[in-house]
Structure formats: structure tokens, C-alpha cells
């Protein structure tokens, strides 16, 4: 694509339009096709969104572990430290990251805003989803009002 620097209606609009065409919309990507052939389901998650994408939380965990490694400028050490940090993420933490992302997704689907979703995700952290009667629980406890007061201070 050779777009003009000030153009706002060429490539991105064409790309979006092409993706919505029936010929393209129903076609699986090569990655999806290869994974499905192996019995693996592909999930497309929002990029760079730490609440909705568990891989972002895994990266954060791995970076914290990496910072504990001794400093070095040797490429072999850097690679070894990176791989050992990624491999050191416990499976239970990965599951917790996934559950947390599911709670946030569920909260957003129920119409909660960012603060309400954060409160609900913390309040119901033992659940995979926010209960249907969450608003009654919020109103009854008055916790959401206190949460807003604390955050505004």
C-alpha cells in the first residue's frame, strides 16, 4: 500500500471494507486452519489490553521474574534468562490470569464501566463470571459508592 501521508480514507478503509465482504468474512486464516487441524481452538483477543488478554498478565509476570536475573549484556545470557522467566510462570497463575480476563469480559458485557468492572472482578474473584444479580449486591452493600469515594480522593 502506497498511501499519501495525509490520506485518511484509503488503505484502512479498504482493508476494513474487504474484511466485511462475504467472500472474506467466512474464510479462516491459515493459522486458524492449521490449529483446528490439530484440534486447537484459536481465540482472537484484544491486543495490549491487560484486563481482557491473559497473555499481557503473563508477560508482566515474566518481566518481573526476568528483572530478578543477574544483569548481563551477553546475548546468550539474555536469551537464557528470557526463556527461563517465561518457563517459570506457574500453570496456576496462567489459569488465574485467564479467569480474571473472563471476569472482566463478563463485566464489560453486562454494561459495567471500567471502575465498576474492576470492583466486580475483585469482589467476585473466586468466580468465572459476575453473578446476574450483581447490581443488587452492589446496592445492598453500598460498596460501590465507597469504592468511588476512595478512588476520587
Residue 63 has a pLDDT of 96
Q: Output the nine-digit C-alpha cell for 134.
A: 450483581
At residue 148, the pLDDT reads: 58
Q: What is the pLDDT of residue 45?
A: 77
Alpha-carbon gap, residue 143 to 118, rounded angstroms: 13
The DSSP line for 96-138 is: HHHHHHHHHHHHHHTT--HHHHHHHHHHTTTSSS--TTHHHHH
Helix ranges (H only) for the chain are 11-20, 22-25, 30-37, 54-67, 75-87, 91-109, 114-123, 134-141, 143-152
Counting as low any pLDDT under 70, the low residues of the chain are: 1-20, 22-25, 127-128, 135-153
Contact 115, 148 (CB under 8 A): yes
How far is it, in rounded angstroms, from Cα 96 to Cα 110?
21
In this predicted structure, what is the pLDDT of residue 31?
A: 87
CA distance 40 to 33: 10
Domain spans of the chain, in order of start: 13-44, 50-152
C-alpha closest to that of 44 among 31, 57, 34: 31
What pLDDT sits at residue 83?
A: 96
pLDDT of residue 28: 80
Give the integer Cα–Cα distance in Å for 152 and 33.
Answer: 48
Cβ–Cβ under 8 Å, residues 105 and 141 = no
Query: What pLDDT score does 1 carry?
Result: 46
Determine the pLDDT at residue 153: 47
Structure confidence at residue 3 (pLDDT)? 55
Whether the model pTM is above 0.75: no
Amino acid at each position: 500500500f502506497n498511501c499519501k501521508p495525509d490520506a485518511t480514507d484509503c488503505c484502512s478503509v479498504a482493508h476494513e471494507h474487504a474484511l466485511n465482504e462475504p467472500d472474506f468474512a467466512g474464510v479462516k486464516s491459515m493459522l486458524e486452519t492449521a490449529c483446528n487441524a490439530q484440534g486447537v481452538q484459536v481465540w482472537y483477543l484484544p491486543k495490549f489490553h491487560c484486563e481482557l488478554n491473559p497473555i499481557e498478565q503473563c508477560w508482566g509476570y515474566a518481566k518481573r521474574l526476568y528483572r530478578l536475573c543477574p544483569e548481563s549484556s551477553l546475548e546468550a545470557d539474555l536469551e537464557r534468562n528470557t526463556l527461563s522467566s517465561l518457563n517459570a510462570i506457574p500453570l496456576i497463575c496462567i489459569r488465574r490470569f485467564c479467569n480474571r480476563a473472563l471476569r472482566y469480559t463478563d463485566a464489560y458485557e453486562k454494561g459495567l464501566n471500567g471502575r465498576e468492572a474492576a470492583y466486580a472482578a475483585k469482589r467476585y474473584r473466586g468466580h468465572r463470571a459476575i453473578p446476574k444479580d450483581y447490581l443488587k449486591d452492589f446496592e445492598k452493600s453500598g460498596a460501590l459508592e465507597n469504592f468511588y469515594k476512595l478512588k476520587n480522593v
